[in-house]
Amino acid sequence: MPELPEVETVRRGLLPAMEGKAILSAQVNRPDLRWPLPDRMAERLTGARVDALRRRSKYILADLSTGETLLIHLGMSGRMLISGAMPGVFHHDHPAPQKHDHVVLEMEGGARVTFNDARRFGAMDLMATATAEAHPLLSVLGPEPLGNAFDTAYLQARLAGRRTPVKAALLDQHLIAGLGNIYVCEVLFRAGLHPATQTGDLTPAQVAGLVPIIREVLAEAIEAGGSSLKDYRQADGELGYFQHSFRVYDRAGQPCPTAGCTGTVTRIVQSGRSSFFCPVCQR
């Protein structure tokens, strides 16, 4: 599933086509994705201007001139793809309609934005912008890891007294919004922490060290356009490149990349998810 860097990359790719532009027409080709789509969705989108295009955790939020916000979640295989003319950016001819093109937005300026999702685990919803943060999918989220509310004091307070593996804690969307399996594996490697380490056993210095490392890993991944492993593509159809910078994720059996380390990257399963780490560097 796309994590924060992939969703942020898609959002940035969509900006030239959507922000400040009107939706000239909306085509909704099915009644549901993961959940039912909003009533009269095409009608409510058509004619609306996208005043702002922002991200919350793994969700893209398009604030509309109608006072509603369009929530977009890519799910496992969803893609927001742009075709057509965008002066000064790129021009991709409109492709022939595809089987899994579920929502198509014709934008002012000539761009077409298509939500394609073969597995239909993605989602879209419309909600009042004024109360968007109260939406059930958003109200439970922790702070953004790249935002000011996420700092050492916050993380130390939230981890204090908890007895849970640090890997599970960092994946908890109630604690930190947007982190997923790939980037938590990479964070813990750089922090020198075994994924099964209990949060209650972390020293204050180790907790404090996690904050800049989380920011560093996410910033590098965004700069690389995210990670393309299976379905993920940027809005212009290009692949992300951060997968070429993985130090441990999906590298089981390979030598640890730390200079001088004799360890081998190991895979274990925690709560049904693969954790990759170096048992020598991460204790």
Residue at token pair 């560093």: 216
pLDDT per residue, tens digit, the chain (283 aa), is 678 988 998 898 899 999 999 999 999 999 999 999 999 999 999 999 999 999 999 999 999 999 999 999 999 888 898 888 655 555 566 777 778 999 999 999 999 999 999 889 999 999 999 999 999 999 999 999 999 999 999 999 999 888 999 999 999 999 999 999 999 999 999 999 999 999 999 999 999 999 999 999 999 888 877 654 444 444 555 544 455 578 999 899 999 999 999 999 999 999 999 999 999 999 8
Query: What tokens were used for 46?
Result: 């058509």
β-sheet bridge partners, residue 80: 115
Catalytic choice (3, 6, 106, 186): 3
Q: Is domain 4-134 classified as CATH 2.60.120.10?
A: no
Active-site residue identified among 2, 5, 143, 195: 2
What is the length of the chain?
Answer: 283
Find where tokens 């900006």 sit: 15
Residues whose CB is less than 8 angstroms from the CB of residue 226 and which lie 6 or more positions away in sequence, other chains included: 2, 3, 5, 6, 8, 9, 232, 234, 240, 242
Q: Residue type for 277, please? A: F
- Find tokens 């599933």 and name the residue: 1
Report residue 157: phi and psi, to 5°: -65, -40
Protein fold of 152-277: Helicase, Ruva Protein; domain 3 (1.10.8)
How is the chain classified by DSSP, letter by letter?
---HHHHHHHHHHHHHHHTT-BEEEEEE-SSBSSSBPPTTHHHHHTT-BEEEEEEETTEEEEEETTSEEEEEE-TTT-EEEEEEEETTTEEEPPPPP-TTEEEEEEETTSEEEEEE-SS---EEEEEEGGGGGGSTTTTT----TTSTT-SHHHHHHHHTT--SBHHHHHH-TTTSSS--HHHHHHHHHHHT--TT-BGGG--HHHHHHHHHHHHHHHHHHHHTT---SSS---TTSPPP-GGGG-SSTT-TTSBPSSTT---B-EEEEETTEEEEE-TTT--
Q: 11, 21, 55, 58: which is the annotated catalytic residue?
A: 58
What is the domain partition of the chain in residue ranges?
4-134, 152-277
- Contact present, 278 and 258 (Cβ < 8 Å): yes
- Report if pTM > 0.95: no
221: nearest Cα among 240, 238, 234: 240
6 annotated active-site? no
Q: What is the CA radius of gyration of the chain?
A: 20
What tokens were used for 71?
A: 């929530």
pLDDT given for residue 227 in this prediction: 58
Residue 2: active-site member: yes
Q: Reading across the β-sheet that carries 68-73, which strands appear in turn?
A: 50-56, 59-64, 68-73, 123-128
Question: 49, 120, 267, 273: which is the annotated catalytic residue?
Answer: 273
User: Which residue from 98, 105, 101 is spatially nearest to 120, judged by alpha carbons?
Assistant: 101
